[in-house]
Amino acid sequence: FLGKESAEVYPRVMMPLFFRKDRPILPVKGVFRLDKDKDQFIFGDSLKVIGGNLRGNQLVFRNRDGKLEGEGAFNMGSGLKYVKVDAAGTIRSEFKESAPQEENMIISDTMDLSAAPLAPREQVYEVEADVMTGIQLIVPDRLLKIMITDIESMSFDASPVVYLTDLDFYRRAVSNLLPPGKETDATLASLGTGLMEVPEKVNPYTFLFSRIPMKWNAEYQSFISMEDKNAVASINGELINRMMESYIEFKMPSNDDDRLYIYLKSPSELFYFFGFKQGILSVTSNNPAFMEELAGMKSKEKVIKMDDGNTYEIQDVDVGTARLFFNRVKSARK
């Protein structure tokens, strides 16, 4: 759960929440059983805990050391409007000793450059996750086409994603990310060939990352990617299946004003930045063709009336915004 008052992601097993409105990250309901050999309790959906199904949320409490391990579908970015984040994978939580607080300055949120730095927070639980995530943004197809053409033209310079070395993770994540059906079965079958091929019917995602190691940072109130290169399965439905330099942040503050940031660099050294906050998607790139196309878009293409009467706006911003976000992620990892 994500604490509204503490900004901590914390575990609760058969106990009340710290605060009743705390956000669930991995909700687990169902049955539990004791694994005597491993000295651990397993909680979760009955078909998963007892039947061994790939689909379903599960939490394992290791009695010997107090660590928790979970898997299933995550609630990330649940406060976002007009864009959507679907996520699944594994998550680990460990209690750590409180350390003396030190004076520390952090880089303010990319989308609010005038905001004062957040006050340092004492983080009691260390939470890490391996996340498969599908992100739906509203981006004109012709902008995505320029980006995909750039990436595909230089794809031989990017390492392929190696799925076969950890099929268990990918199969479980796919089963919890995609809806049950023949399309998901086909995706699972494709993993055995060393690729992740997601049929169009179940791949509505602007960006589909097959694995991102992430960590919760209470000071930044964000899940932040921890590796410079992450597995990109597809962009706008086009298969990529390459390890690409990328930085991702799911910002989930206590006031539910969620934000989303993606920085993706092509093997050609051209980068693309997308930052979403309060109905505004800020976009920039050092690809001249991409920015020329963006600048030439009509106002009705950049400002879209949504069903609730509000607007979704696409804004081109200075490349310095992307650099600030890049530095923010690097700082948050320390």
Tens of each residue's pLDDT in the chain, 334 residues:
556 666 656 565 555 555 557 788 888 888 888 888 888 888 888 888 888 889 999 989 888 777 889 999 999 999 999 999 999 999 998 877 654 444 454 555 555 544 444 444 566 778 999 999 999 999 999 999 999 999 999 888 889 999 999 999 999 999 999 999 999 999 999 999 999 999 999 999 999 999 999 999 988 999 999 999 999 999 999 999 999 999 999 999 988 899 999 999 999 999 999 999 999 999 999 999 999 999 999 999 999 999 999 999 999 999 999 999 999 999 999 8
**Please, are residues 187 and 198 in contact by the beta-carbon 8 Å criterion?**
yes
**Please, are residues 319 and 286 in contact by the beta-carbon 8 Å criterion?**
yes
Distance CA 160, CA 242 (A): 4
What is residue 19's predicted lDDT score, i.e. its pLDDT? 52
What is residue 95's predicted lDDT score, i.e. its pLDDT? 74
What is residue 196's predicted lDDT score, i.e. its pLDDT? 97
Closest CA to 221 of 261, 266, 190, 194: 261
What is residue 316's predicted lDDT score, i.e. its pLDDT? 96
Q: What is the CA radius of gyration of the chain?
A: 20
The residues, any chain, with a CB within 8 Å of residue 93's CB and separated by 6 or more, are 9, 10, 11, 67, 68, 69, 70, 125, 126, 127
- pTM for the model stands at 0.87
Distance CA 210, CA 89 (A): 10
Closest CA to 252 of 90, 67, 107, 109: 109
Distance CA 116, CA 111 (A): 12
What is residue 25's predicted lDDT score, i.e. its pLDDT? 87
Distance CA 31, CA 29 (A): 7
Per the document, the length of the chain is: 334
What is residue 288's predicted lDDT score, i.e. its pLDDT? 97
Q: Which residues pair with 242 in a beta bridge?
A: 160, 232
What is residue 274's predicted lDDT score, i.e. its pLDDT? 98
What is residue 24's predicted lDDT score, i.e. its pLDDT? 83
Distance CA 167, CA 173 (A): 10
What is residue 243's predicted lDDT score, i.e. its pLDDT? 97
Tokens found for residue 74 = 């995550």
Amino acid letter, 61: F
Domain range list for the chain: 127-332
Distance CA 44, CA 4 (A): 25
